Every structure is written in structure tokens, then in C-alpha cells.
Amino acid sequence: MKPPYPAHARPSASDPVDGVLLVDKPQGLTSHDVVDRIRRRFRFRKVGHGGTLDPMATGLLVILLGRGTRLSDRVMASDKVYEGVMRLGVRTDTEDVDGQVISETDASGVTEEAVRAAMARRVGDLMQTPPMISAVKKGGMPLYKLARKGQTVERTPRLIHIYDFMLLGYEPPRARFRLSCTKGTYVRTLCADIGEELGCGAFLESLRRISAGVFHVSDARPLAELLEMEPAAFLDCAIPVHRIHWGDEHGAHVG
């Protein structure tokens, strides 16, 4: 059977572009799912991403193409901005909407001022313990694999920094927020910890990544749209490596 790809989209000694592709990830897919679909559709040899988004999350996923995969560490190290919804009064075993409910508490007495104050107390340097449902490794084993076996192990807290944690709206029991933070921040754990402080529990109901360093979701294309493109149009959406200029450890710009 003749393959549905033109010659320049087939595997070769080098990929047709070395760069970065900004994808607006839909809910329900893992970051690896997105990488795999792009690799298979356009026959790239090297495809990666610059920072995982959980399946329940949407928004900016930085896809790295060809030699652009060498930028992985730099993109992953960049600061992130998210918008999301925290649901008060319910605890889940994963700290997000994908988990099983383990308890419910009346949160009707929690005021907007109390939520805002709890968020403000987390601005600055913060030691955060990774959740069991995470890719952090313990003894060479990802925590989520241990969690699937019913195991809970001690985890070492990690230093993160919260630049801003803003309450965008409060309609009990839901609080909409905008968060600016360093890499490695578990937003669902922030929500769960706030719920504990408020005495009612909480979980992350929805999450959308707005930016990662210099890259913004407003410049991203929906995955479904990208997968429908002809190879030439797809390649036009990529930002070539030579257009990305890295400054200090916190910055870069596209020129």
C-alpha cells in the first residue's frame, strides 16, 4: 500500500525541521500521546516535549522537533503560568478531578477572604512534597507505580517558588485562580494543601497552562488542527531553532 505521506515527510537521516511547535493540548491525552501522534502523522525521527501536562490539563504543550529536542532541559526549566479551578469540600486520592473521592466536607463557611489569604501565604519560596501520583522516582521507581501497588512512601520536599497566586473568582465551592511558578510545581498539591488549611479539603478540578517561559498558548494551534494539515503547512507552524535566542537562566525570546 502506498503510504499517505509525501517523500519529504518520510523518515530520513535528518528531520525536515529543527525547532519548536506550540500545541494547545486537549483534555484526556497524555503528553506522550501528543508526541506519538505527531511522530506517526508526520514521520519525524526525533520528537519530544518541553514539560509534561497531566491528561486532565489543557493548554500549552511545547513540542520539540528534530534537533530542537536538545532544548528540552531549557524549556523544562522555564517558569510556568497556569489558570485553573480549585474545588473545595472534596478530597480525591490523586488531588485532581481524575481521582477517586475519598472524603467530602461542607465548605459553605469558607469565605473568599480566607481563600485569598491561603493563596497569598504560598507566594515566595515553598518546600513542596511531591504527590504519590507523580513521575518523581524513589529508589529508581516512579512514585505512581508504587501508588498503583497501594504503597505510600516518604518523599523528600522540593524547593519551588510561587511568583503570584491570584484569585480570579470565587463561586463556592469553586475558586478560579491564576498561578505563576517555577518548574516542578504540582498545582494539584497546592490546591490540596490549601483545602487542608481551610479545614475542608480540596482538589484541582481543571487546569490550563498559559505559558512556559517565552512561549504562550495564544500562539499555539489545537492538536486536531495540526494533525489535519499537509506536511508543508505543518512545518510552517514550527519555530526554527535559530529563531529562539536564549538569554539568562530565566529568559529567551523569539526573533
Is 54 an annotated catalytic residue?
yes
Helix axes 187-198, 112-120, angle to 10 degrees: 130
The closest of 146, 119, 149 to 131, measured between CA atoms, is 146
Task: Supply the DSSP symbol for 131.
Answer: P
- Kindly provide the residue ranges of all beta strands, DSSP E only, lying in the chain, ordered along the sequence: 19-25, 47-49, 58-65, 80-88, 90-92, 101-104, 124-128, 137-138, 141-142, 158-171, 174-181, 202-212, 215-216, 221-222, 239-240, 244-246, 252-254
Report the chain's terminal Cα–Cα distance, integer Å. 43
Task: Supply the DSSP symbol for 109.
Answer: T
The H helix count followed by the E strand count for the chain is 7, 17
Q: Which residues contact 100 (CB under 8 A, 6 or more apart)?
A: 92, 93, 94
- Catalytic residue, chosen from 15, 18, 54, 193, is 54
Residues written for the chain: 255
Separation between Cα atoms, residue 109 and residue 115, nearest integer Å: 11
Q: Which residues contact 139 (CB under 8 A, 6 or more apart)?
A: none
Catalytic residues: 54
